[in-house]
Amino acid sequence: MDLSRAQVPHGLVHVIAERCKQCDFCISYCPVDVLEYSEDTNSKGHHFPVVAAGKEQACVFCRFCDLICPELAIFTSESQADASDG
Amino acid sequence: MSIPVEANISLVDKHPADDLLRADRFPHILCPGCGIGTVIHTYVRAIMESGVDPDRHVCVSGIGCSGRAAGYVNVDSYHATHGRALPFALGIALHKPDLVVTVISGDGDLTAIGGNHFIHAARRNINLNVICINNFNYGMTGGQTGPTSPKGARSPTAPDGNQDHPFILPHLAHAIGASFVSRWTVLHVRQFQEAVLRMMEKDGFCFTEVLAPCPTSFGRPNNFAQGLHEMEMYRDRCHIENGVSRMSDLQIDIMDPDWPIIVGNFVDVERGSYGEHA
Ligand SMILES: Cc1ncc(C[n+]2csc(CCOP(=O)(O)OP(=O)(O)O)c2C)c(N)n1
Ligand code: SF4
Ligand SMILES: [Mg+2]
């Protein structure tokens, strides 16, 4: 297999900030540590997940943050960009 | 509502599963770190992947925090009285056999006050899918000890630790005749979703126990003050053993840090569902 040409799926993270209750599941269980807490809070005072600096290309679209979220406050979409280029 | 826009995130106001939720009721009332929301999420995803029109799915819950599930899903749903989700659901299942009827309720609702309905619905192999959210206590009413509370667990009704032997729910479900029996946790989201899908396609009485954190009521007095603490315990101690050979091995001793918790799909048999030979 030519690893330099292997296509790694790449995802974009979307957040519904108002639903987040800061349970930490998405941040703890992202396998590539894409997420960290926002500096801002939502109207209930919870910090919500954002993409950590330098991790903009790191999401592998495993969808685990979406599946595990008890609030349905986060999901990912597959990005068309070829991760092996970046 | 003012959410500051962070540069490095796409902030949106709708989730792809929202059409199957009563999204106007979100954020839901469940506590931060409670596992019940993940069960609702998984059920909704299973509906989307079931290939069955959402109009043919029905959700029935009893009373309790787990019993809130029926109120958050946008399919025909019923919030029955305490312990009576199963009699209500089996009425629907028998009258309208083309519907996919799923009961989502708590350990207390299904196996304490509703325990008698549980054993007889399984014995008769009624065509129902039962998701029992086991958070080891009566979460909604303040964390009282119930039939799944582990030995030694502290609660307002057992301040020195529970002295009773808990039910092993998959063992019980198997003994009373369930056609499908599994146990997962809300950390095992993918396997749990597969089990729910299997229940949806299978005839007869199907049962999944899903372990879920209740940080507020069970967790605080038992060293799981955050949902994440209990999730970490699942991660450290769960072993997947599909088709486990001895159901008694499914005993959970949550207080013993070395005690393995076995999860998996344990039973999947054909037994002829109720009314099939009528
Ligand atoms: C007939 C009746 N008895 C008692 C109650 C009080 N009650 C409400 S919820 C509940 C226990 C629910 O426990 P469980 O099913 O485990 O749900 P959880 O809140 O833990 O998700 C009890 C005893 C009630 N509502 N109705
Ligand atoms: S009391 Fe427990 S079960 Fe009820 S919403 Fe809070 S964490 Fe969940
Ligand atoms: Mg309970």
Query: In a 10 Å sphere around its CB, with 0-12 CB exposed, 13-18 middle and 19+ buried, how is residue B98 labelled?
Result: exposed
**Residue-range definition of the domain harbouring residue B89:** 15-268
CA distance B122 to B93: 13
pLDDT band of residue B245 (cuts 50, 70, 90) is confident
Pocket probe for ligand 1: among B29, B63, B134, B222, the residue whose CB has the most ligand atoms within 8 Å is B63
- Give pLDDT, residue B6: 58
CB contact under 8 A, B10 and A15: yes
Total beta-carbon pairs less than 8 A apart between chain A and chain B: 109
SS3 call for B239:
strand
B129 Cβ contact partners less than 8 Å away, ≥ 6 residues apart: B100, B101, B102, B103, B196, B199, B200, B206, B208
For residue B1, pLDDT beyond 70: no
Contact B263, B239 (CB under 8 A): yes
- Give pLDDT, residue A3: 65
Contact B185, B268 (CB under 8 A): no
Please report, for the domain that includes residue B147, its CATH number: 3.40.50.970
Q: Work out the average pLDDT over B64-73.
A: 98
Q: From the CA of A3, how many Å to the nearest CA of chain B? A: 28
Q: Nearest-CA neighbor of B230 among B159, B160, B136?
A: B136
SS3 call for B39:
helix
Q: Work out the average pLDDT over B210-218.
A: 98
Mean pLDDT, chain B, integer: 95
- Give pLDDT, residue B277: 58
Question: Ligand 2 centre from B186 Cα, in Å?
Answer: 14
Contact B195, B265 (CB under 8 A): yes
Q: Work out the average pLDDT over B208-235.
A: 98
For residue B3, pLDDT beyond 70: no
- Give pLDDT, residue B12: 96
Q: How many domains does chain A have?
A: 1
List pLDDT tens digits, range B5-33: 555 789 999 999 999 999 999 999 999 99
**Residue A61 forms part of a structural domain:** yes
**Residue B21 forms part of a structural domain:** yes
- Give pLDDT, residue B9: 83
CB contact under 8 A, A67 and B45: yes
- Give pLDDT, residue A83: 46
Partner B contacted by A30 (CB < 8 A): no
Contacts of A31 in chain B (CB under 8 A): none
Query: In a 10 Å sphere around its CB, with 0-12 CB exposed, 13-18 middle and 19+ buried, how is residue B170 labelled?
Result: buried
CA distance B86 to B104: 10
Amino acid letter, B64? G
CA distance B113 to B122: 16
Ligand 2 contact via B199 beta carbon (within 6 Å): no
**Residue-range definition of the domain harbouring residue A53:** 10-79
Q: Nearest-CA neighbor of B140 among B167, B113, B115, B164?
A: B113
**Residue A63 forms part of a structural domain:** yes
- Give pLDDT, residue B40: 98
User: In chain B, which residue ranges form alpha helices assigned H by DSSP?
Assistant: 36-49, 69-72, 85-95, 107-108, 115-123, 169-175, 189-201, 227-237
**Residue A24 forms part of a structural domain:** yes
Contact A23, B33 (CB under 8 A): yes
Contacts of B11 in chain A (CB under 8 A): 14-17
Contacts of A25 in chain B (CB under 8 A): 33, 38, 227-228, 231
Contacts of B13 in chain A (CB under 8 A): 16, 18
- Distances in Å between the alpha carbon of B173 and those of A64, B193, B267? 30, 19, 10
Q: How many domains does chain B have?
A: 1
Per-residue pLDDT of chain A (86 residues; tens, 9 = 90+): 676 677 788 999 999 999 999 999 999 999 999 999 999 999 999 999 999 999 999 999 999 999 999 999 999 999 876 545 44
**Residue A85 forms part of a structural domain:** no
Q: Nearest-CA neighbor of B175 among B266, B114, B262, B238?
A: B266
SS3 call for A76:
strand
Ligand 2 contact via B30 beta carbon (within 6 Å): yes
Q: What is the pTM of this model?
A: 0.95
For residue B4, pLDDT beyond 70: no
**Residue B259 forms part of a structural domain:** yes
Torsion B176-B192-B40-B145 (CA) sign: positive
pLDDT band of residue B2 (cuts 50, 70, 90) is very low
CB contact under 8 A, A46 and B32: yes
CA distance A83 to B223: 42
**Residue B72 forms part of a structural domain:** yes
Contact B169, B183 (CB under 8 A): yes
**Residue A71 forms part of a structural domain:** yes
Ligand 2 contact via B215 beta carbon (within 6 Å): yes
Does B180 or B277 have the greater pLDDT score? B180
Q: Work out the average pLDDT over B258-270.
A: 97
**Residue A49 forms part of a structural domain:** yes
Nearest to B1 among A18, A21, A51 (CB): A18
**Residue B278 forms part of a structural domain:** no
Ligand 1 contact via B109 beta carbon (within 6 Å): yes
Ligand 1 contact via B65 beta carbon (within 6 Å): yes
Nearest to A70 among B8, B21, B34 (CB): B34
For residue B106, pLDDT beyond 90: yes
List pLDDT tens digits, range B132-176: 999 999 999 999 999 999 999 999 999 999 999 999 999 999 999
Please report, for the domain that includes residue A38, its CATH number: 3.30.70.20
CB contact under 8 A, B186 and A70: yes
**Residue B276 forms part of a structural domain:** no
The first and second tokens of residue B33, run together, are 């770190």
CA distance B13 to B1: 12
Pairing of strands B129-134, B206-211: parallel
Query: In a 10 Å sphere around its CB, with 0-12 CB exposed, 13-18 middle and 19+ buried, how is residue B224 labelled?
Result: buried
Question: Ligand 2 centre from B69 Cα, in Å?
Answer: 12
Nearest to B11 among A17, A23, A39 (CB): A17
